């Protein structure tokens, strides 16, 4: 019989804990607070979380966190006043951190995951003020994601600030490493449903990304792009909308 590696279970536990919190004691404290207060429904739960989550994370002013929000590396998260986290949101801020600006809404089942297990220097997710991260969005911040003010992302948008190297056909891609250049989305951008923003892309102020687009190159300011891969459709020049089109504010 082959000898049993008795250290393997302990090593697996240590690896798991290292990917959940900054230390074992932080893991215990964060899981205790999340376990006690994280399930409580209604405005009562929102109020209790606004009070007691300050013990484990940086909350500035009043924030609203619904029940069932999953949080890891809480000590590396900052939520500014007026931030709203809907049910099912997942924030994993492993080294690099997550910073969400004043008045920003993160809708249900959005996932913001820094995913930095390689000590990448620019990892992190930064979201500006009065933005909206739509339902079922996925943001992977290995190379760093910076989102400006008043940016709206529609449901099922993905921003992946990472890419696999797969140039060598003789080796599995998982052995060839990754690149992580980062993504920047400037102020006042609207990203349509199910669009994908790939690593290294910079989207200029006031741009519009059509639904379903796969953006692989930089987008100039005040430009509409769409398609796979995304191409410019038109410039936004200040033309008035059709006179018979009702507009609501």
**Would you say 96 and 123 are in contact if contact means Cβ atoms under 8 Å apart?**
yes
**Would you say 48 and 69 are in contact if contact means Cβ atoms under 8 Å apart?**
no
Chain-centroid distance, C-alpha 23: 23
Based on the residue annotation, tell me whether 156 is a catalytic residue of this protein. yes
Alpha-carbon torsion 148, 146, 133, 40, what sign? negative
**Would you say 104 and 125 are in contact if contact means Cβ atoms under 8 Å apart?**
no
Q: How many Cβ atoms from other residues are within 10 Å of residue 25's Cβ?
A: 9
Which residues touch 43 (CB under 8 Å, ≥6 apart)?
Answer: none
Place of tokens 């809708």: 107
Q: Between vectors from CA 60 to CA 56 and to CA 64, what angle results, nearest 5°? A: 80
Q: How far apart are CA 153 and CA 104, in angstroms?
A: 12
- Residue among 156, 164, 202, 222 flagged as catalytic: 156
On the question of a cis peptide bond just before residue 67, with omega within 30 degrees of 0, the verdict is no
Whole-angstrom Cα Rg for the chain: 20
* CB burial of residue 207 (10 Å; 0-12, 13-18, 19+): buried
Catalytic residues: 156
């Amino acid at each position: 019989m082959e000898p049993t590696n008795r250290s393997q279970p302990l090593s697996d536990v240590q690896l798991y804990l290292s990917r959940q919190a900054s230390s074992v004691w932080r893991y215990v404290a964060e899981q205790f607070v999340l376990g006690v207060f994280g399930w409580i429904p209604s405005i009562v739960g929102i109020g209790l979380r606004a009070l007691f989550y300050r013990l484990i994370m940086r909350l500035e002013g009043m924030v609203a966190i619904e029940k069932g929000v999953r949080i890891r590396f809480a000590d590396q998260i900052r939520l500014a006043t007026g931030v709203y986290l809907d049910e099912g949101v997942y924030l994993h801020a492993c080294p690099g951190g997550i910073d969400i600006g004043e008045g920003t809404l993160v809708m249900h089942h959005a996932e913001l995951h820094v995913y930095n297990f390689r000590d990448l220097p620019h990892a992190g997710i930064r979201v500006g003020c009065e933005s909206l991260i739509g339902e079922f969005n996925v943001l992977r911040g290995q190379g760093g994601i910076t989102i400006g003010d008043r940016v709206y992302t529609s449901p099922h948008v993905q921003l992946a600030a990472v890419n696999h190297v797969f140039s060598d056909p003789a080796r599995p891609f998982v052995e060839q490493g990754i690149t992580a250049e980062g993504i920047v989305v400037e102020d006042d951008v609207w990203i349509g449903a199910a669009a994908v923003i790939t690593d290294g892309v910079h989207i200029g102020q006031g741009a519009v990304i059509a639904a379903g687009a796969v953006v692989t190159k930089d987008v100039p300011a005040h430009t509409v792009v769409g398609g796979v891969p995304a191409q410019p459709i038109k410039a936004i020049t200040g033309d008035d909308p059709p006179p018979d089109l009702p507009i609501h504010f």
